Amino acid sequence: DKDGDGQITTKELGTVMRSVGQNPSESELQDMINEVDANKNGPLDFR
10 in Cβ contact with 33 (< 8 Å)? yes
Domain containing residue 19: CATH number: 1.10.238.10
Answer whether residue 26 is part of any domain.
yes
User: Of 8, 35, 1, whose CA–CA distance to 27 is shortest?
Assistant: 35
Nearest to 33 by CA among 6, 3, 13, 4: 13
2 domain-assigned: no
pLDDT recorded at residue 45: 86
Question: Quick check: is 33 in a domain?
Answer: yes
In a domain, 1, yes or no: no
**Contact residues for 45 (Cβ-Cβ < 8 A; gap 6+):** 6, 7, 38, 39
* Tens digit of each residue's pLDDT, the chain (47 residues): 889 999 999 999 999 999 999 999 999 999 999 999 888 888 888 77
Per the domain annotation, does 18 fall within a domain? yes
**Domain ranges, residue 17:** 7-45
**Number of domains into which the chain is organized:** 1
* Structural domain contains residue 38: yes
Q: What's the whole-model pTM score?
A: 0.81
